[in-house]
Every structure is written in C-alpha cells, then in structure tokens.
C-alpha cells in the first residue's frame, strides 16, 4: 500500500485502472462505507454481486492482507476522511446543490490534507530556483495549466504553457537542467504527456506531476508528485478529474510561494496596475 493511509482516497485514485469486478466492489464501498464496516465478506460479496474470492483479491490489490484489515483501515477513517460521493438527483435541485458542495469540499480537503510537507517543500524549492517553468496538460485540464502559468508569471517565475502539443514539445526542447516541467493529468497515462516527460528526464529537467493516481506512469516518472482527490461522478458510474481540486492545489502552491517571499506581492500589484485600464 502507498504511504497515503486514507483508504477511500486510494480507492478513488485507482478506479480508472480497476477491473470491472473491482469497480463493482468499489461502488458499494464508496456509496456506503459505514455499512461495509459492519458487513461480513459474504455480505459484501452478495451486495456487490461478486464472489468472496473477488473480495479477497480486491483487498490484496489495495495492499492489504485480507478483508479484516480492509475493514480496520476503513474504521480508522473519520467521517470527514470518508469524503465519499453524495448523490445528485434531477428532482431536488437544492439537495443536489448541497451534494455538489459536499463533493467539492471533500475533493479539496482530501487533496490538501494528504500532501506531504517534505514533497511540498521540495516543490517550492524547485519553483523558486527554476529559470523557466513549463506547465503541460491535455483536454479539459489545460485551463488549469494556463492558470498556473499566469499565477507564476505574476510573482516573477517565468512560465509557459500552450494547448498545441507539437508546440509544447518544441518548447521542452528549449529547456535545460535549470528549468522545471509541471505535468497535470487525470489518469496519469497520457501517451503525449509521458513522451514529453521522458524527453525532459533525458535532458535532466526536473518534473512535478499532479494526477489522481499516484501509481500512474506520469506519477512514477516525476521527481515530485501531488495526488488529486476525486469525488465527482459523471452520469452514474464514471468519475472524472476535478478542476476545482487541482486548481486548489495550484492555488495553495501559489500562496505558499507568496508567504515565502512577500516581495512577490508587489509584483502582483504592479501587474494589476498595468492592466487596470482594461477594467470598467
């Protein structure tokens, strides 16, 4: 099992790579973790419509020696740590809005609360000493990369980002070992981003990754990794990367950099003054 002892976080992070049987078990666990803590292995097997052997294999896949240890790990979590998905229904807008709020709060809390101090300090040091920071992402996560580059430039850390992969790859070719590559990905398994990371590694460029799977190829390649908690469903069973959670991670790094060097605040003020004539 990874250093992250939060079992619920681990299940969410591995969902995209699980087998259909493991996903069925996960659905039962994530929908009612308190109930699962009181179940026998046969009861969970019946509820998930799988065999008891599948439950045992599921526990071992999560890094535990059996169902008893699985329930013990589950019982060790507080209600806040559970942070499991709250259902959204079309027939009750206010309840759905409350559920969305709960899900987003859980994503942010479970993302930030599980960051290692040592890893964050390492990332802050890499950012502070980098000549150029390149931020890369694909698809609907790319706006987070643009926001990250904008924030870093505002505080005096020269940063670049582009949504065209071929251009982005060419930018990486112009980096050297004084620079830094930040990679933002949901599954951590994008072929293009992996190829770009490998290019960076070959050029001795430090890399930081933010993904929802700490055991993904991108996370494994990175010099420092931040795991992003997932708590939102699309339709009935698919989970997707939350831009809110990863944006909160970027925002936190930005604020920590400001706290380290208050002179960076003056840079923001100066930039805001320069663009103030564009505002009504």
Confidence of residue 236 (pLDDT cuts 50, 70, 90): very low
> Does residue 60 share a domain with residue 17?
yes
Domain of residue 18, CATH code = 1.10.10.10
Average pLDDT, integer, range 94-103: 82
Note the Cα 218 to chain centre separation in Å: 12
> In the predicted model, is pLDDT for residue 2 greater than 50?
no
Domain-embedded: residue 55: yes
> Does residue 167 share a domain with residue 56?
no
> Does residue 135 share a domain with residue 38?
no
> In the predicted model, is pLDDT for residue 253 greater than 60?
yes
pLDDT at 280: 65
> Does residue 143 share a domain with residue 56?
no
Domain-embedded: residue 213: yes
> Does residue 58 share a domain with residue 119?
no
Task: Give φ, ψ of 181 to 5 degrees.
Answer: -115, 125
> Does residue 79 share a domain with residue 23?
yes
Domain holding 130, by residue range, is: 111-278
pLDDT at 40: 94
Domain of residue 143, CATH code = 3.40.50.10490
For residue 245, what are its two tokens? Answer: 């959670």
Q: Tell the residue number behind the tokens 């507080």, with chain if given.
A: 78
Average pLDDT, integer, range 190-208: 97
For residue 58, what are its two tokens? Answer: 């599921």
For residue 145, what are its two tokens? Answer: 């990369």
For residue 235, what are its two tokens? Answer: 């339709």
Give the burial class of 76: count Cβ atoms within 10 A of its Cβ; 0-12 exposed, 13-18 middle, 19 or more buried: exposed
Domain-embedded: residue 16: yes
> Does residue 78 share a domain with residue 214?
no
The top-scoring range by mean pLDDT among 59-68, 153-162, 208-217 is 153-162
Across the chain, mean pLDDT equals 88
Among the residue ranges 108-117, 123-132, 153-162, 167-176, the one predicted with the least confidence is 108-117
pLDDT at 199: 97
Give the burial class of 52: count Cβ atoms within 10 A of its Cβ; 0-12 exposed, 13-18 middle, 19 or more buried: middle
Residue 150 · residue 157 · CB < 8 Å: no
> Does residue 32 share a domain with residue 133?
no
Give the burial class of 174: count Cβ atoms within 10 A of its Cβ; 0-12 exposed, 13-18 middle, 19 or more buried: exposed
Domain boundary among 84, 100, 126: 84
Domain-embedded: residue 123: yes
End-to-end CA distance of the chain: 54
pLDDT tens string 10-60: 888 788 788 999 999 998 998 888 889 989 999 999 999 999 999 999 999
Give residues with Cβ within 8 angstroms of 21, minimum separation 6: 50, 54, 58
Residue 232 · residue 207 · CB < 8 Å: no
Q: Tell the residue number behind the tokens 């700490």, with chain if given.
A: 214
Domain-embedded: residue 102: no
Q: Name the domain count of the chain.
A: 2
Among the residue ranges 116-120, 195-199, 230-234, the one predicted with the least confidence is 230-234
Percent of the chain exceeding pLDDT 90 equals 59
3 state SS of 39: coil
The top-scoring range by mean pLDDT among 76-90, 91-105, 161-175, 226-240 is 161-175
pLDDT at 11: 87
């Amino acid at each position: 099992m990874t250093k992250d002892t939060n079992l619920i976080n681990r299940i969410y992070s591995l969902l995209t790579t699980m087998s259909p049987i493991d996903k069925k078990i996960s659905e039962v666990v994530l929908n009612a973790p308190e109930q699962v803590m009181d179940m026998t292995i046969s009861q969970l097997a019946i509820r998930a419509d799988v065999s008891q052997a599948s439950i045992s294999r599921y526990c071992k896949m999560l890094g535990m020696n059996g169902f008893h240890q699985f329930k013990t790990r589950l019982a060790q979590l507080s209600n806040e740590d559970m942070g499991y998905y709250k259902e959204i229904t079309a027939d009750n807008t206010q309840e759905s809005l409350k559920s969305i709020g709960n899900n987003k709060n859980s994503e942010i809390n479970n993302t930030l609360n599980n960051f290692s101090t040592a890893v964050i300090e390492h990332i802050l040091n890499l950012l502070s000493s980098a000549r150029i920071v390149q931020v890369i992402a694909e698809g609907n996560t790319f706006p987070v990369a643009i926001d990250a580059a904008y924030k870093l430039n505002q505080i005096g850390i020269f940063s670049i980002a582009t949504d065209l992969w071929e251009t982005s790859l060419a930018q990486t070719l112009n980096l050297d070992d004084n620079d830094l590559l930040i990679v933002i990905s949901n599954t951590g398994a994008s072929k293009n981003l992996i190829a770009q990371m490998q290019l960076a590694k070959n050029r001795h460029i430090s890399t930081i990754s933010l993904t929802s799977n700490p055991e993904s190829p991108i996370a494994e390649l990175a010099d420092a990794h931040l795991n992003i908690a997932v708590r939102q469903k699309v339709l009935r069973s698919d989970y997707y990367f939350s831009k809110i959670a990863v944006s909160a991670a970027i925002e936190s790094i930005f604020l920590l950099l400001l706290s380290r060097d208050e002179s960076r605040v003056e840079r923001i003020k100066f930039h805001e003054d320069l663009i103030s004539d564009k505002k009504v």
